[in-house]
Structures are given as C-alpha cells and as structure tokens.
Amino acid sequence: MRALLIEDTLTSATLVSHQLRKIGIDPIVARDGEKGIELFKQEHPDVVLLDIIMPGMDGFEVARRIRQLETAGEWTPIIFLTARTSDADLEKGIAVGGDDYLIKPVSETVLAAKVRAMQRIAQMRYSLLVLTRKLDEANQELTRLSSLDGLTAIANRRQFDETLLREWRRGSRQGRPLALLLADVDLFKQFNDGYGHQVGDECLKAVARTLTSVLRRPADLVARYGGEEFAVVLPDTDITGALLVAEGMRSAVENLGITHRFASSTGYVTISIGAAAVIPGRGDSKSADLLKAADDALYQAKQGGRNRIAASAVGVSP
C-alpha cells in the first residue's frame, strides 16, 4: 500500500513518513500542493494524507483538484492532517472532498487505524464496483439473448416486432420508405417429417445463415418469424430494392443444394418470398398493413408454384 503525503513542514513529513513505514505503508512525499497533484497523477496512491496550511495552494484546493482528476468510479481516500482545529475547517475539509480530519500531532496508533479503515472502505468499494460491472455485463447478455432465436441464433419475433416499430416511426418522421419481406421454406413439413426433426433444425439454421449473409447494411434485419418462416426488415428501401434483395435470398437458398426429395419440382430446399414496401404514415398500428401486404405476397408466391418471389400493394396512405 502507498500513501501520498503532502506536507510542507520537513519535521512533520519525516515523522509521519516514519509512522507509515512502521505500519507497512510506503510514503510518497510532496512538499507543496502543486507537486502533490503531479505525484497523484503519476503514482496513483492508495490514500492521500494532506496538510491544510501550505505555501501557494492550500490543502482544501489540493483536495478539490484531486477529486476533479478522478474519473467515474474512481475514489482515493483523502485524510487531512492539520493543526487547525475549528469546526468550520473540518466542515470545509469534508465538503471539498476529504474523508477524514485528524488534528496534529497524530499518534501512530490513531494514524494506523484511520489508514486501515480507509483501506477497508476502498477495498469494499472496489468489490462493489466489480460486482456492479459483472451484473451490468450479465444484464446486457440476458438482454442480447432475449432478442435471439434459440435455434437459429438470429433475431427472434420479439426483436422483429421492436425493429419494425422503430423503423416505421423513423420512416414516418423522415418520409423514407420501409420494405418488409416474409420468407417461408417450401414444403418444410414434408422435409421435417421425412428426414427427422434434427435434420430439419439444421436446415433452418442453414437458411437463417444464408438469408443473413445476403444483407449488406447494418440496419437491415433478418428474424425468425415463426416455425419455418422468416421476416426481413429493410429500412430506406422501396419495392424495387426489396425485390432485388428477395431474389438474392431466394437464389442463395436454392444454391445451398440441400436435398429435398419430397420437393418434386427442384429436388432441393427452396423458399418463397413475399415483398411489400411503403412510406410509413402516422400511427404505429398501420405497420400491421405492411405486414399483411407482405403476407399476401407470400401467399401469391406459394400459389404460383413456390421457389419464387411476389410483391403486394400496401393498403396504407403516407
């Protein structure tokens, strides 16, 4: 443990330094306030012992500046060692950032007890800070996990709903288009029943990775909408752009070449995609119209023979 002793009187500095060494504490001595602040920044002591009456900058100002140097979460105990005995001085010492106020001369026993007490407080405070950081990290991880689908590790339905609402509001404020894709794995029930649930799960994971890989912008989102269905939110995207993304996704999944002997048309796993886009109007509830339009388009793609994309008009006004 190291203590920064800021004391202009040589006799007092020598005596306190001797007392500190006897209790196993290494003293760092400064003879004025400016030097004390400089050493504080350089040495990062465990405790500061500070006189009040010094030439130039007094101890009150030194304590004030030390507290200003500390960043959020940092705290170094400051103990005033002074011959000034008034209640007003004690009150001011605590007000400017001091943690204790001892009257000179201070016995070795009292000094050791006070320093050890401050050390325990500092250790407890550090432990609480570490625990708080761990709790914050755990809460952040829980929040992250709560927004992910457990199987595919992409965004889940909750995250999709929050993102769609957020982007709807942003598009409404800025007058920018918002597109939505709904994708469904073709004949997935037959695939799942024929190959087994474990193979079906691996298929969904591969489709999720592939859909995500097609996207290029951080704001775009692929989410598992439910079962074998996926939703894609595309901010700042009109219907032309949405159809380009949709075709890229459809083609990418087909090119995976996952065998599907129950799909007579291709022999491989494919997806159908419905697309819709609109410049959002006022009212959060109208986002449901965009969702319905994409769902209608998905139905059209399915009815048209699967492994294709389709677009549907949105029944909302800007």
223 - beta bridge partners? Answer: 155, 231
Residue 133's pLDDT band, with cuts at 50, 70 and 90, is confident
Q: Which two tokens stand for residue 230?
A: 């996926």
CA distances from 29 to 57, 108, 281 (A): 16, 18, 69
CB of 256 closer than 8 Å to CB of 268: yes
> What average pLDDT does range 204-223 have in this prediction?
96
Q: Which residues are catalytic?
A: 228
pLDDT over 90 at 73, yes or no: no
High-pLDDT (> 70) share of the chain, %: 98
CA distance 284 to 125: 46
Instruction: Read off the tokens for 112.
Output: 């050791």
**Cα–Cα nearest to 224, from 157, 175, 165, 171:** 157
Taking CA atoms, 255 is separated from 33, 251, 307, in Å, by 73, 6, 12
Q: Sorting pLDDT into bands at 50, 70 and 90, what band is 318? A: very low
Nearest to 230 by CA among 136, 144, 156: 156
Q: How confident is the model at residue 124 (pLDDT cuts 50, 70, 90)?
A: confident
pLDDT at position 264, please?
Answer: 67
Rounded CA gap, 285 and 298, in Å?
21
- Reported confidence tier of residue 132, pLDDT bands at 50, 70, 90: confident
- 136-150, 228-242, 243-257: least confident range: 136-150
Q: Give me 36's structure tokens.
A: 């004390």
Beta partners for residue 159, in sequence order: none
DSSP letters along the chain, please?
-EEEEE-S-HHHHHHHHHHHHHTT-EEEEESSHHHHHHHHHHH--SEEEE-S--SSS-HHHHHHHHHHHPPTT----EEEEES---HHHHHHHHHTT-SEEEESS--HHHHHHHHHHHHHHHHHHHHHHHHHHHHHHHHHHHHHHHTB-TTT-SB-HHHHHHHHHHHHHHHHHHT--EEEEEEEETTHHHHHHHH-HHHHHHHHHHHHHHHHHH--STT-EEEEEETTEEEEEEET--HHHHHHHHHHHHHHHHTT--B-TT-TTTSB--EEEEEEEE---S-GGGHHHHHHHHHHHHHHHHHTTSS-EEE-------
Give residue 106's pLDDT.
87
What percent of the chain has pLDDT above 90? 72
Closest CA to 297 of 289, 305, 309: 309
> What is the mean pLDDT of the segment spanning 211-227?
96
- Summarised one tens digit per residue, pLDDT across range 156-168 is 999 999 999 999 9
Q: What is the predicted pLDDT for the residue at 115? A: 87
- What per-residue string of b and e applies to 70-96 under the rule 16 or more CB within 10 Å gives b? eeeeeebbbbbbbebeeeebbebbeeb
pLDDT class for 107, splitting at 50, 70, 90?
A: confident
Please provide the average confidence, as pLDDT, over all residues in the chain.
Answer: 91
| pLDDT on residue 55 | 87
pLDDT at position 315 = 56
